[in-house]
């Protein structure tokens, strides 16, 4: 079985595709005190779209949700229609690195757990022109909470995402790129377990049984499991932080 197929078998029909929860999204939204009524919102790397639904519901605005994996977009569309938010949510298969929208199109750009695909700095740079003057950008991003992390997580992240920085370094990056910080806070551990790692761990257990004679598949499953174990051990030294900022120039 090809590694990519196994990866998507692990990552299908999970409530979320990254750490996050409604309480954290609401806390970030509440920091946007100057958001206009019915804001125009772009949700980048929306995945199955739990946060997209919340944004539409809480702001009453229109949300364009983009992702490159069609099955996630289909799941989101179906959920949006089911809960009566279909008219407010438009899904589009677009890559975050080549977004096709006119400059100044959005009052708010939102991205939970996806900016790592481009890199924090590159994403912040690329998306800024799409914001209206004074528009907001809110992202969650993997960050060190400890300036001197132990070897095991340091080595893991040097391979998985070498551009990982401390929260303070990420704040300095956003300021340098012409944003003003509005708020930042770490996601609680529950935001990793409840809707992401717990269901994922359960899925890995089922797939280990299904692919017990497929060494390639088992190796992908072990890699994913290792990430969960690492967080169990070292959640005090890294995690996701919400960075809420505003276009300053
Ligand atoms: C970790 S998941 C987060 C999904 C969702 N925001 C959540 O929190 O559940 C990252 C998402 O980015 C999407 N993605 C990967 N590469 C992308 C790209 N180049 N452009 C847009 N989305 C991309 C993936 O398909 C996936 O849905």
- Does the beta carbon of 49 lie inside 6 Å of ligand 1? no
- Does the beta carbon of 239 lie inside 6 Å of ligand 1? no
- Does the beta carbon of 18 lie inside 6 Å of ligand 1? yes
Query: How big is the CA angle at 187 (ends 119 and 46), to the nearest 5 degrees?
Result: 50
* Model pLDDT, residue 74: 97
Q: What letter does residue 161 receive in the DSSP assignment?
A: -
What is the overall mean pLDDT for the chain?
96
Angle between helices 215-234 and 3-10 (to 10 degrees): 50
Q: What is the pLDDT of residues 10-52, one digit of tens each?
A: 998 898 999 999 999 999 999 999 999 999 999 999 999 999 9
Report the phi/psi class of residue 35: left, alpha or beta, with left for phi > 0 and alpha for psi in -120 to 50: beta
What is the set of domains in the chain, with CATH numbers? 16-150+162-189+236-247 (3.40.50.150)
* Model pLDDT, residue 37: 96
Q: What is the pLDDT of residues 134-190, one digit of tens each?
A: 999 999 999 999 999 999 999 999 999 999 999 999 999 999 999 999 999 999 999
pTM summary value: 0.95
């Amino acid at each position: 079985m090809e590694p990519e197929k196994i990866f998507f078998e692990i990552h299908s029909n999970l409530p979320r595709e990254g750490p996050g929860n409604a309480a954290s999204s609401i806390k970030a939204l509440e920091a946007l005190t100057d958001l206009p009524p019915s804001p125009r919102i772009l949700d980048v790397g929306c995945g199955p779209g739990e946060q997209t639904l919340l944004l539409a519901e809480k702001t009453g605005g229109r949300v364009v949700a983009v992702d490159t994996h069609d099955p996630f977009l289909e799941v989101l569309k179906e959920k949006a229609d089911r809960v009566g938010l279909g008219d407010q949510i438009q899904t589009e298969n677009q890559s975050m690195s080549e977004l096709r929208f006119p400059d100044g199109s959005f009052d708010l750009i939102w991205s939970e757990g996806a900016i790592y695909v481009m890199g924090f700095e590159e994403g912040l740079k690329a998306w800024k022109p799409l914001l209206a003057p004074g528009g907001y950008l809110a992202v969650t991003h993997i960050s060190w909470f400890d300036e001197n992390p132990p070897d095991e997580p340091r080595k893991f992240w040097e391979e998985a995402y070498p551009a990982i920085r401390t929260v303070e370094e990420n704040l300095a990056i956003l300021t340098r790129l012409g944003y003003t910080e509005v708020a930042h806070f770490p996601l609680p551990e529950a935001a990793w377990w409840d809707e992401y790692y717990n269901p994922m761990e359960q899925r890995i257990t089922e797939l280990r049984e299904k692919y017990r004679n497929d060494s390639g598949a088992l190796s992908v499953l072990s890699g994913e499991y290792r990430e969960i174990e690492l967080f169990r051990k070292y959640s005090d030294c890294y995690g996701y932080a919400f960075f809420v900022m505003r276009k300053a120039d």
